[in-house]
Amino acid sequence: MRIIRQVTLDRSNRKKDRSVSITFTTNLEQSTEDFMEIDKLNGATGIVHFSDRGELTQAEIDEIENIDFEVEGKTKSQRLRNVLYILWKQEGEGEFKEFYANRMEKLITKIKDRLD
């Protein structure tokens, strides 16, 4: 599923994990059906193509659709490391390398204790 809309880039915001939040607003009113199409993709990972020159031609849309993108996002281990980093920043204890090693060891031990 895909959505193609003419939009205005309203805001960009750097996150704690160095990723960026980007906010777009449609230039035209969206029907209930249009909104439902967008809402179905809420939380999905995908590719955004943004151009400041207006609408895409049908040939450009077809070309984009035929590109074989690898959409993966962050791995679970990358997400865990990022969350532990934010926790370390909030708690402010010692070096991150030591904090990470200790927390990961605790998690590994907790899981191993559940094994038969």
What are the structural domain ranges in the chain?
Answer: 7-66, 76-113
Is the distance from CB of 15 to CB of 2 less than 8 angstroms?
no
What is the pLDDT at residue 67? 73
For residue 22, list its beta bridge partners. 12
What is the pLDDT at residue 73? 66
C-alpha to C-alpha distances, 72 to 22, 78, 81, 94, nearest whole angstrom: 18, 12, 17, 33
Choose among 2, 58, 48: nearest CA to 23: 48
Which regions of the chain are under pLDDT 70? Answer: 68-73
What is the pLDDT at residue 82? 86
What is the pLDDT at residue 69? 63
What is the pLDDT at residue 62? 79
Q: Where are the alpha helices (DSSP H) in the chain?
A: 32-40, 58-66, 76-91, 96-113
What is the pLDDT at residue 113? 93
